[in-house]
Amino acid sequence: MTYHPKSEFLRVMIERGFLADCTDLQTLDDSLTTGRVTAYIGYDATARSLHVGHLLNIMMLRWLQKTGHRPITLMGGGTTKVGDPSFRSDERPLLDEAQIAENIDGMQQVFARYLGYEDAGQDGGALMLNNAEWLDGLKYIEFLRDIGRHFSVNRMLSFESVKSRLDREQSLSFLEFNYMILQAYDFLELNRRYGCTLQMGGSDQWGNIVNGIDLTRRVSGTELFGLTSPLLTTADGRKMGKSAGGAIWLNSDMLSPYEFWQFWRNTLDADVGRFLKYYTELPVDECDRLGALAGSEINEAKIILANEVTTLLHGPEAARAAEATAREVFEKGGVGDDLPTLDLSPADLGDGISVVQLFVKSGLAKSGKEAKRLIAENGARIDDAPLTDAGLMLDAAALASPVKLSAGKKRHALVKLAE
């Protein structure tokens, strides 16, 4: 990225690696320097909690607010009833109104941690809105006449998110096909109601964002902007936010602050500097310095990362308690060199080994049945993340570095692949 922005917000986005694409970087930059910009990101209510994969875009909204602009978090009370088909191989299960409302209540807890809503209002601070407010009352025929006529089916079929589904000859329902029209309409409504001129999201949302910009230009002649963040994978190629045990939830009733802290403490060495830039507010130079550490020093950098991210989400007390617990378990409890270790030969491993077998071989469970019960009762951990999938298989890549298994809070074992 060679562009040198004048606005503080875009400077932060570029320096910290948040920017993947922008529809018109220079004009957006001018807009950010001449006044207060209102921007939004939409979140469909498909689960009761957001997960770590959402944190990148939440940090974008936080930086937008910190640099003097107004963020809107748009809850998809309306669009969740349809389901975003982008890059999915099948249709999302349809949720009823009560489930959607419950999910929105759960998701809202996180935004209150990252954004200040105390002076919200037409000319005030951050807003939290629900698109059901305008989508639920639409009259279908009028909507088709006023909004639908601006969409070319030919163009909609050309978007990669739709094309990939059709190329694989997987069904795309007419309900899902309407999703991009509804999301485009959200941008138009937010512009009309709140003067919102910028939509942000992951790069998989590019087509949906461009649709909203085009629709608003056709209907009202207003110029809007889109800005996307990169789709993240960890250094070993895994999707960000997934662990061997499942999703890393942001709500404390679905994943404890200690387990959340441990997720960041177990970051791969190669990801530390990058994640410090994305998920903390430490200066960029300090993120680079910490990310360049090696040996045992990189572990201290990981503790700083875990503390900073946990403080933002759960507060400083939770971060301090998590670090203290971790030090007690690992340092005083003899976890480490003294931990029971299962050495696997390539012959033992073959094409892969089930996590149930590993619990039995390491002595943490007496039988496969006991191991499965431990997993079903949420008593099993893998690298300190909850293990929920009894069918999980680990191959040589997964065991490239030692894997820690835990049964309850006090029984641990390491699994290593022999040289």
Tell me the pairing of strands 341-344 and 411-417: parallel
pTM: 0.76
Per-residue confidence (pLDDT) for residue 333, from 0 to 100: 47
Q: Which residue shows structure tokens 């936010």?
A: 241
| Spatial CA neighbour of 209 closest among 199, 219, 218, 217 | 199
pLDDT band at 398 (very low <50, low <70, confident <90, very high): confident
The mean pLDDT value for 33-60 works out to 95
The mean pLDDT value for 34-58 works out to 95
pLDDT of 85 over the 80 cut:
no
pLDDT of 305 over the 90 cut:
yes
Which tens digits make up the pLDDT trace of 209-244? Answer: 999 999 999 999 999 999 999 988 888 787 776 555
Q: How far apart are the first and last CA of the chain?
A: 42
Structural element, H or E, at residue 347? helix 346-349
Alpha-carbon distance 395 to 392, whole Å?
10
Alpha-carbon distance 48 to 68, whole Å?
30
The mean pLDDT value for 62-79 works out to 95
Which tens digits make up the pLDDT trace of 326-367? Answer: 887 666 444 444 457 788 888 888 888 999 999 998 889 889
Per-residue confidence (pLDDT) for residue 122, from 0 to 100: 46
Q: Which residue has the higher pLDDT, 176 or 22?
A: 22
- Out of 134-148, 149-163, 195-209, give the one with best mean pLDDT: 195-209
pLDDT of 125 over the 50 cut:
yes
Per-residue confidence (pLDDT) for residue 339, from 0 to 100: 58
Average pLDDT over the chain, rounded to an integer: 87
Per-residue confidence (pLDDT) for residue 336, from 0 to 100: 47
The mean pLDDT value for 140-146 works out to 79
Per-residue confidence (pLDDT) for residue 296, from 0 to 100: 85
Per-residue confidence (pLDDT) for residue 1, from 0 to 100: 57
214 CB burial (10 A radius; 0-12, 13-18, 19+)? middle
Among 41-55, 175-189, 335-349, 370-384, the minimum mean pLDDT is found in 335-349
pLDDT of 90 over the 70 cut:
no
